[in-house]
């Protein structure tokens, strides 16, 4: 949840400002191109299904989680340009010795879709270990995130499937159902709640107490998930 909240916060913040295209004048100054300019129209309406905010929201999410974002540049029936964000986990980069990148291949639902190098805008974070792949900001803490997910999953399954007490009281006597129920009521009345924490207990008929050991392990995993200091390293 921490990763999702951080990524969504960044994506929503990036999708709010309006992008204004500018033209550089001969004197070096920048002037807005105007609402009728093809680039400005493209930024305002990226394709029939995506708004400008949708494009930037998807771009930031892909960059945060995968380290790469791909925009496919395609033309509509009237010859106008459209931008389609591609899922980075479905994009393969095709290297080239002379041109560096020959193109891209998108593994779509109906099969592979090839793109030339000038038909895709590739945004990525620098990866010191792989030049043809971006590096996600959450990659360094991915193992810690997975550990938190595993701890939460263990706690959920433990509570759902292993309803087990912390200890068992062993007696030398056989107790009836009514006696057991009376004992539970008396025990909860005297020892339940923070005001009765660590209050000593005396039971003359109890000969031994066996702890089961699961509560401490579950508590440790719960604290590991809730404290989770690595989440502070998220951008």
* 11 pLDDT higher than 80: yes
Give me the numbers of helices (H) and strands (E) for the chain, helices first please.
Answer: 6, 10
Contacts of 84 (CB under 8 A, 6+ apart): 46, 47, 50, 71, 72, 74
How far is it, in rounded angstroms, from Cα 175 to Cα 179?
Answer: 6
Q: What is the mean pLDDT of residues 128-139?
A: 88
- DSSP E strands: which ranges in the chain? 22-24, 30-32, 68-75, 81-86, 91-96, 100-108, 111-116, 120-124, 167-171, 206-211
**Over the stretch 46-63, which tens digit does the pLDDT of each residue have?**
999 999 999 999 999 999
**Over the stretch 175-231, which tens digit does the pLDDT of each residue have?**
888 888 888 888 788 877 777 776 777 666 677 777 766 544 555 445 544 444 444
* 156 pLDDT higher than 70: yes
Check if the beta carbon of residue 151 is closer than 8 Å to that of residue 221. yes
Question: Residue 169 in 3-state DSSP?
Answer: strand
So what's the pLDDT on residue 125?
Answer: 93
Token output for 229:
């200091």
Indicate the pLDDT class of residue 101, thresholds 50, 70 and 90: very high
So what's the pLDDT on residue 203?
Answer: 67
Q: What is the mean pLDDT of residues 115-143?
A: 89
Residue 167: closest CA among 213, 218, 216, 222: 213
So what's the pLDDT on residue 199?
Answer: 72
Q: What is the mean pLDDT of residues 74-99?
A: 93
pTM, full prediction: 0.60
Q: What is the mean pLDDT of residues 8-33?
A: 90
So what's the pLDDT on residue 230?
Answer: 46
Q: What is the mean pLDDT of residues 71-78?
A: 92
Check if the beta carbon of residue 132 is closer than 8 Å to that of residue 141. no
Percent residues over pLDDT 70 in the chain: 82
């Amino acid at each position: 949840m921490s990763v999702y909240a951080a990524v969504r916060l960044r994506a929503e913040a990036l999708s709010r400002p309006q992008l204004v295209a500018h033209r550089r004048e001969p004197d070096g100054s920048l002037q807005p191109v105007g609402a009728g300019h093809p680039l400005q129209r493209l930024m305002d309406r990226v394709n029939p299904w995506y708004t400008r905010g949708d494009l930037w929201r998807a771009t930031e999410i892909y960059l945060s989680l995968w380290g790469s974002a791909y925009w496919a540049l395609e033309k509509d029936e009237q010859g106008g340009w459209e931008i389609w964000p591609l899922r980075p986990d479905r994009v393969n980069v095709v290297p080239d010795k002379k041109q560096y990148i020959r193109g891209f291949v998108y593994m779509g639902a109906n099969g592979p879709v090839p793109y030339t190098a000038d038909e895709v805008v590739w945004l990525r974070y620098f990866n010191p270990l792989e030049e043809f792949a971006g590096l996600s900001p959450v990659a360094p803490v991915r193992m810690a995130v997975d550990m938190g997910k595993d701890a939460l999953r263990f706690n959920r399954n433990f509570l759902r499937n292993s309803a087990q007490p912390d200890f068992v009281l062993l007696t030398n006597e056989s107790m009836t159902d009514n006696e057991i129920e009376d004992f539970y009521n008396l025990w909860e009345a005297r020892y339940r709640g923070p005001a009765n924490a660590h209050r000593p207990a005396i039971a003359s008929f109890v000969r031994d107490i066996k702890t089961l050991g699961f509560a401490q392990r579950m508590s440790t995993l719960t604290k590991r998930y809730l404290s989770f200091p690595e989440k502070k390293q998220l951008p």
